[in-house]
Amino acid sequence: MTCCLDKKAENLIVGFEGNEDASVYKLSDDIALIQTVDFITPVVDDPYLYGQIAAANSLSDVFAMGADVKTALNLVGFDSCHHDKETLNEILKGGESKVKECGGVLAGGHTIETPEMLYGLSVTGIANPKKIIRNNTVKEGDLIILTKPLGMGILTTAIKADLVGMDVVLRVADILRELNYKTSILAREVANAMTDVTGFGLLGHLYEMSADKMGIKVYFEKVPYLKEAIEMASMGIIPAGSYNNQEFLKDKVEKKRELSFEEEMILYDAQTSGGLLISAEEKEAFNLVNKLKNEGVNASIIAEVSKQEEKPLIIL
């Protein structure tokens, strides 16, 4: 029995011991099971859009591992005191639309009563175990690509406070509900490392990619963000998670250029359903950016990997 248990443990390629995007369990020499789970509270008022955004956020971790989604289960915390069944139906329709968009199947789920609405997915995907893409395997000389603009944490906080117009709300919603699936497919053949930008912010996830062994130089002028996020940050509309990220990384970041408070908080901003960070060799990175742009993906080379200097993250 012990031998059998040891073998099962060996098949867990990626577990909870690191900061990876999903777990990976080897079923055979050709198939590995990728599993992840995530849920969020509403970031927009429209229930269908909220369902799409929450689903895109949950599905992204599978794409970040270079895998394909197969099945998903709904996770719902339903606030029946403030929402009717039609609202719930619209949320679930929105979520299912994103699961179908990437070729997955919605296979059920579970609902409980909660004082605040929650929605997300438990997602199962598959990939070749030899082709799993980790988040901490960057190589010296790699360039790092970001595929969605920053500022979503600040702006969703502003949306909840009714501080921005409908044009901004719709633009943010479009960014948040965009799947990273197409990007993942194009990146798989060239990526040395890959992850998605979520709650730890851009710098938090770049620090994970460095594994505290390599250095990553971030070129601020190349980092895309929505200008409205700067305006909201100047008013103090910043999620608590962003301040937590800044505090955690205070000894990991060296600034070699002047940044305003608002610009700095963009780099720490806790994102929902952010873009992928893709680390690839220089030539492959430029080719990938061109391919992504041809597919309508807002991809930018924002950083490069080098030997670590005094601190793992350097802002230039």
Torsional class of 242: left (φ above 0), alpha (ψ -120 to 50), beta (otherwise): alpha
- 15, pLDDT greater than 90: no
- 251, pLDDT greater than 90: yes
Residue pair 167/274 in contact (Cβ under 8 Å)? The answer is no
The predicted structure's pLDDT at residue 82: 85
* Segment 89-142, tens digit of pLDDT: 999 999 999 999 999 999 999 999 999 999 999 999 999 999 999 999 999 999
Round the average pLDDT of the chain to a whole number and report it: 94
Q: Are strands 214-218 and 313-315 parallel, antiparallel or unpaired?
A: parallel
Residues 48-57: what's their mean pLDDT? 98
Between the two ends of the chain, the Cα-to-Cα distance in Å is: 55
How many Cα atoms sit within 13 Å of 179 on the Cβ side?
23
- pLDDT higher at 306 or 3: 306
- C-alpha 92/C-alpha 271 separation (Å) is 22
* Segment 136-173, tens digit of pLDDT: 999 999 999 999 999 999 999 999 999 999 999 999 99
- C-alpha 67/C-alpha 184 separation (Å) is 8
Bridge partners, residue 112, by sequence: 77
Residues 296-312: what's their mean pLDDT? 94
- From 118, 121, 149, select the one nearest 63 (Cα to Cα): 121
- Compute CA 298 distance to the chain's CA centroid, rounded to the nearest angstrom: 15
- From 135, 63, 65, select the one nearest 102 (Cα to Cα): 63
Residues 36-61: what's their mean pLDDT? 96
Mind listing the domains of the chain with CATH numbers?
Answer: 2-131 (3.30.1330.10), 143-315 (3.90.650.10)
Q: How far is CA 174 from CA 44, 52, 87, 152, 301, in A?
A: 11, 10, 20, 11, 22
pTM more than 0.85: yes
Residue pair 225/275 in contact (Cβ under 8 Å)? The answer is no
